[in-house]
């Protein structure tokens, strides 16, 4: 009982909620770039929900993350699946299937997932999860560090064990997710940020530019980070000893933590929003940190999309995170 | 400078950072490591990550279990003991290094560059042999492990003999795994091949990162070093390097590790007093 990868797509990988407890070794959490969509897909097939970004506990059942273009997968057992996130056209044996809805798949059927025109990442959950061995407590692939069940993205010919639907009691009923409260993907987006840790290093004008300009996502966008282009940001005066200890560029700092969502501004010429495979420490000033809820929004942006950075308080970020977590529950499921 | 009082920084809604200063003074790092060792031994269900860096201690919390205000209060409670902590636990690794190895020489030659170690010699106005003697003549304090798994950043404990190196304007696209590199006063080694803007001094003989297979001394996560370790680089020649590689291949290599208490005074005595 398994799924066979016929075509892997350009970057498809296995993800649960991510690997916690190893940042002190330099290993980033990985996990989905859009936790919300993976959670919704998981809910639709009755899986154990992967917790939101940086929430503890069991890591949830693993699903797939596809980037820009999906794979072709053959199912060698009966199962139930659900797709969420960027709506890459998807069909089973040539018949189009809906998103945000659980769909039965018969043994021998082939799922083909095409290219997205809005949003960047699609999540596929399979009832019972992907039965691969966890590595360091998680089934998430960290592609940059080659850690995870395969230690890499999907390849043609991979077999991924799954469970037969008959062993999963009561999961055959088709349900839909109420999408009315979900954010639109792609295009122009607001990314809410908590300012800092190094916003004081920038000039007042640059802080104003950062929060008022339209920032365009470049083609350099992956799970490690998303490089946005906008106005050049400038830095205020700094002590001479930082030239010796941190480097001559005014954006250099003595290394500190780079959080997931941290916005690093090397030489002030770009704003890099760090993803879930972020470098864990670094020596460039970070003007702000994207709140946990909006990492999912950033993860759905594609080159050319526009971000507007909007400062919020830590308390507002916490309230938004609670609301986003509460969105994914049976109260938002609709029976077909 | 070392701040009069540590600064707390809330990095959005998941991280609390405690910053002890803004420069590369190892006395800041001693406080960070004391704090990391204090929290590392605790088992709070809300505590997801403890992250020591050169000058900042970081803690990732589960926002569904605790508020950042409460996290800050808990850290503040232990801070008075930390800022007066006199000792931390530190492991001393003796690591065989082939300084001026043929791989780094070949990479420079291919790029038409002056051998890195000669660049370092010129920057320190000394001979290549003196660079090696000075680099191997002091212990190096691992201030932080990060950026990528197993990558570390170490500073000479005796700053007075430490050598410095100018960083490259543009990172070299390929640097072999285990290459010993220097940027400013900071020594680093890449766990796997990748780009680096640091000058290459030589190659560490034994592995520093494992993703599969067992080597005695490696924890399950595969990263050998931790913040608060010390390194003593022991120069070896081609034969010495090959002898280590052979032992690695047949599974008989044993790392030379001594675990001991290391005091703030020992650290401060190395020139980190201003």
B142-163 average pLDDT score: 93
Q: How many CB atoms lie within 10 A of CB B62?
A: 20
Q: Which pLDDT tens digit goes with each residue over A262-288? A: 999 999 999 999 999 999 999 899 999
- Closest chain B CA to residue A317: B13
Contact B13 A242 (CB under 8 A): no
pLDDT at B138 > cutoff 90: yes
pLDDT for position B181: 95
Q: Min CA distance, A80 vs chain B (Å)?
A: 30
Percentage of chain A surpassing pLDDT 70? 99
Query: Can you give the pLDDT at residue B167?
Result: 81
Superfamily of domain A188-325: Cyclophilin-like (2.40.100.10)
Give me the CATH code for the B2-85 domain, please. 3.30.1360.40
Tell me how far apart the alpha carbons of residues A299 and B144 are, in angstroms, rounded to a whole number.
29
In CATH, the architecture of B90-268 is Beta Barrel (2.40)
**What is the DSSP pairing of strand A306-311 with strand A188-195?**
parallel
pLDDT value for B272:
65
Residue linked to tokens 């966008």? A221
Where exactly does CATH 2.40.100.10 map onto chain A?
A: 188-325
Q: Which of A196, A242, A325 sits opposite B9 (nearest CB)?
A: A196
Evaluate whether B29 touches B82 at the Cβ level (below 8 Å): no
A56·B19 Cβ contact <8 A? no
pLDDT, tens digit (0-9, with 9 covering 90-100), for B236-257: 999 999 999 999 999 899 999 9
B120 is written with which tokens?
Answer: 């370092």
B274 pLDDT more than 50: no
What six digits make up the tokens of B36?
Answer: 């990391």
What is the reported pLDDT for A115? Answer: 98
Taking all residues of chain B, what is their mean pLDDT, rounded to a whole number? Answer: 91
Residues B142 and B145: their CA atoms lie apart, in Å, by 7
Chain A neighbors of B6, CB-CB under 8 A: none
Closest CA of chain B from A240, distance in Å = 11
Distance (Å) of CA A160 to CA A76, A258, A279, A283, B8: 10, 34, 29, 40, 45
Confidence of residue B152 (pLDDT cuts 50, 70, 90): very high
Lowest mean pLDDT among A65-69, A157-161, A167-171: A167-171
Residues of A in contact with B13 (CB under 8 A): 194, 291-292, 314, 317-318, 321
> Which of B1, B56, B60 minimises the CB distance to A54?
B60
Nearest CA distance, A336 vs chain B (angstrom): 32
User: Residue B219 pLDDT > 90, yes or no?
Assistant: no
- Residue A169 pLDDT more than 80? no
Closest CA relative to residue A31, chosen from A121, A155, A156? A121
Mean pLDDT of B90-112: 93
Q: What is the mean pLDDT of residues A303-312?
A: 98
The mean pLDDT value for B129-136 works out to: 97
User: Which candidate, A133, A142, A140, places its Cα nearest to that of A161?
Assistant: A133
Answer for the pair A102, A81: CB distance below 8 angstroms, yes or no: yes
Q: Does A313 touch chain B (CB under 8 A)?
A: no
Q: How does pLDDT run across A202-236, given as a tens digit for each residue?
A: 999 999 999 999 999 999 999 999 999 999 999 99
| Sheet strand arrangement including A110-113 | A95-96, A90-92, A110-113, A72-75, A2-7, A159-161
Q: pLDDT at position B217, please?
A: 72
pLDDT tens digit sequence for B172-192: 888 999 999 998 889 999 888
Angstrom distance (rounded) from CA B241 to CA B175: 18
Instruction: Indicate the range of A249-263, B5-19, B155-169 predicted with least confidence.
Output: B155-169
Partner-chain residue, chosen from B1, B53, B64, that has the shortest CB–CB distance to A325: B64
**Over chain A, what is the mean pLDDT?**
95
| Residue A8 pLDDT > 50 | yes
- ipTM value of the model? 0.96
Paired tokens of B168:
């490259």
A284-302 pLDDT tens trace: 999 999 999 999 999 999 9
Q: Chain A residue closest to B192 (CA)?
A: A145
pLDDT higher than 70, residue A322: yes
Q: 0.80 exceeded by the pTM?
A: yes
Share of chain B above pLDDT 70, in %: 97
Q: Tell me what pLDDT residue A74 has.
A: 98
Q: Where are the domains of chain B?
A: 2-85, 90-268
């Amino acid at each position: 009982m398994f799924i066979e990868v016929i075509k892997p797509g350009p970057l498809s990988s296995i993800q649960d909620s991510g690997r916690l407890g190893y940042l002190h070794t330099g290993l980033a959490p990985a996990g989905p770039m859009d936790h919300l969509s993976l959670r919704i897909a998981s809910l639709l097939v009755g899986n154990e929900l992967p917790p939101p970004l940086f929430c503890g506990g069991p890591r949830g059942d693993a699903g797939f993350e596809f980037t820009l273009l999906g794979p072709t997968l053959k199912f060698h057992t009966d199962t139930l699946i659900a797709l969420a996130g960027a709506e890459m056209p998807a069909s089973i044996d040539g018949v189009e299937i809906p998103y945000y809805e659980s769909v039965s798949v018969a043994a021998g059927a082939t799922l083909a997932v095409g290219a997205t025109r809005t949003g960047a990442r699609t999540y596929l959950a399979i009832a019972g999860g992907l039965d691969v061995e966890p590595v360091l407590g998680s089934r998430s692939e960290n592609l940059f560090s080659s850690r995870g069940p395969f230690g890499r993205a999907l390849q043609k010919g991979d077999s991924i064990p799954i469970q037969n639907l008959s062993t999963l009691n009561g999961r055959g009923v088709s349900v839909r997710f109420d999408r009315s409260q979900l954010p639109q993907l792609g295009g122009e987006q607001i990314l809410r940020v908590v300012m800092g840790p190094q916003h004081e290093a920038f000039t007042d004008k640059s802080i104003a530019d950062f929060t008022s300009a339209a920032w365009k996502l470049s083609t350099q966008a992956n799970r490690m980070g998303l490089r946005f282009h906008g106005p050049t940001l400038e830095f205020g005066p700094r002590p001479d000893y930082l030239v010796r200890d941190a480097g001559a560029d005014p954006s250099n700092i003595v290394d500190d933590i780079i959080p997931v969502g941290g916005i690093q501004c090397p030489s002030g010429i770009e704003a890099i929003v760090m993803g879930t495979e972020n470098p864990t420490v670094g020596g460039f000033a970070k003007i702000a940190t994207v709140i946990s809820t909006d990492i999912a929004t950033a993860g759905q942006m594609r080159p050319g999309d526009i971000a507007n950075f909007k400062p919020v308080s830590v308390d507002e970020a916490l309230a938004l995170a609670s609301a986003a977590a509460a969105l994914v529950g049976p109260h938002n499921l609709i029976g077909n | 400078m070392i701040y009069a009082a540590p600064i707390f920084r809330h990095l959005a809604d998941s991280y609390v950072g405690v910053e002890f200063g803004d420069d590369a003074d190892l006395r800041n790092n001693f406080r960070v490591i004391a704090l990391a060792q204090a929290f590392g031994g605790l088992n709070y269900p809300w505590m997801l990550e403890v992250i020591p860096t050169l000058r900042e201690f970081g803690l990732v919390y589960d926002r569904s279990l605790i508020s950042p205000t409460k996290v800050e209060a808990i850290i503040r409670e232990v801070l008075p003991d930390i800022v007066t902590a006199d000792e931390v636990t530190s492991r001393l690794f003796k690591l065989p290094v082939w300084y001026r190895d043929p791989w780094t020489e070949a990479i420079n030659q291919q790029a038409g560059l002056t051998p890195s170690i000669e660049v370092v010699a010129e920057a320190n106005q000394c001979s290549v042999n003196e660079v090696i003697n000075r680099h191997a003549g002091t212990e190096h304090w691992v201030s932080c492990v990060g950026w990528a798994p197993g990558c570390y950043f170490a500073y000479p404990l005796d700053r007075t003999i430490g050598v410095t190196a100018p960083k490259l304007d543009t990172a070299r696209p390929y640097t072999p795994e285990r290459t010993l590199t220097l940027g400013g006063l900071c020594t680093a080694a890449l766990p796997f091949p990748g780009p680096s803007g640091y000058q290459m001094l030589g190659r560490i003989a034994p592995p520093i990162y494992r993703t599969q297979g067992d080597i005695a001394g490696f924890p399950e996560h595969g990263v050998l070093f931790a913040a608060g370790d010390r390194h003593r680089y022991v120069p070896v020649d081609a034969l010495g390097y090959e002898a280590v590689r052979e032992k690695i291949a047949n599974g008989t290599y044993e790392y030379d590790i001594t675990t001991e208490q290391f005091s703030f005074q020992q650290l401060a005595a190395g020139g980190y007093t201003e």
